[in-house]
Amino acid sequence: MQHQQEKSLLKLSVYAALVFAVGGIVWGWLVSSQMVQFDGYYSLISVGLSMLSLGAAQFIRRHDHKRFPFGKDMLEPIVILFKYSIILLLCIFSIVQAVTGLTTGGRATDIDGALLYSIIGAAGCLAIYLYFKRKSKNAGGFITAESNQWKMDSLLSSAVLIGFMIAAVLSRTDYDFVVPYIDPVMVLIVAGYFIKVPVTEMMKSGREILEMSPDQIIQSQIEAITEDLEKKYDFQESIVRVAKVGGKLFVEIDFVVSPQSSIQTVKMQDQIRSEFSNKIHHMKYTKWLTISFTGDRKWAI
């Protein structure tokens, strides 16, 4: 059910982004606004990236334990890293274009036409973002990434709207000479601000690809549960290894069993595995849980 919902949301994102992409590029060209075109090109890139996410999500859900014994979840952070790399390049290119526009006397823009597009774009993007935000609370990385994309698009459209409202007011005053500079200034501000989001998300995906420790909240919960079991069953030591890759949480626990430990049979070991599994059941990820027991510490490190 969750996978079907993910597929439906990704399709919705593709169709919605396609509408905004075509509208933004064509409308931006008609009113000579780089800002509106930036919005359109961002949406166009979103279409391609959403389709990539949809294809990757379907590929991951197809089970192939023979060729992928540990699953295909590593594909998710790789795709997300690629998505945000493209968005980062778009932001950098737009900044260069904006600086060029500012140094060459600004850009003549049909303010009224651009303002009309901004109103429609801001309302539409905000509605889609709020819908995705609500749906992404218990969803995987792909839906969260889509939600972030629509958040960026909502902020972009809102900034465009505010900018063109200011431009419309100034065009009717003695300060109309400032109007040609508003479009490139908006591009510079918005694209510069947006760089933070792809860089942050790329770092998160990089951590998953390198199989680094997950967020501190997850790590702390796993360590606390392990410590409680170590004390409860009088283990000599415990080694904890945790990594989150895509929608899967890999948890490996090695307990060093001392002669005084109350766990001495395989059945009792399975009891601890069940106990540990129940304690992390609330975590939204698919769990890959491995709990081992040894009497020699060298096999645990």
Which CATH number characterizes residue 90's domain?
1.20.1510.10
Whole-angstrom distance, CA of residue 271 vs CA of residue 52: 42
145 and 286 share one domain: no
At 31 the pLDDT is 84
* Residue-level pLDDT at 243: 94
Check whether residue 273 and residue 194 sit in a common domain.
no
pLDDT tens digits for 159-209? 788 888 888 888 888 888 888 888 888 888 888 877 888 898 899 999 999
At 9, list the tokens: 């949301």
Residues of the chain with pLDDT under 70: 1-3, 136-142
Number of domains in the chain: 2
Q: Which of 210, 244, 266 is the last residue of a domain?
A: 210
Select from 149, 179, 210 the last residue of a domain. 210
| 256 phi and psi angles, rounded to 5 deg | -90, 115
Q: Note the pLDDT of residue 143.
A: 76
Residue 141's pLDDT is 66
**Domain containing residue 238: CATH number:** 3.30.70.1350
By residue range, what is the domain housing residue 268? 216-299
User: pLDDT at position 1, please?
Assistant: 43
pLDDT at position 218 is: 93
Q: Are 297 and 235 in contact (CB under 8 A)?
A: no
Residue 279 has what pLDDT?
A: 94
Kind of pairing between the strands at 286-294 and 248-256: parallel
d(CA 164, CA 112): 8
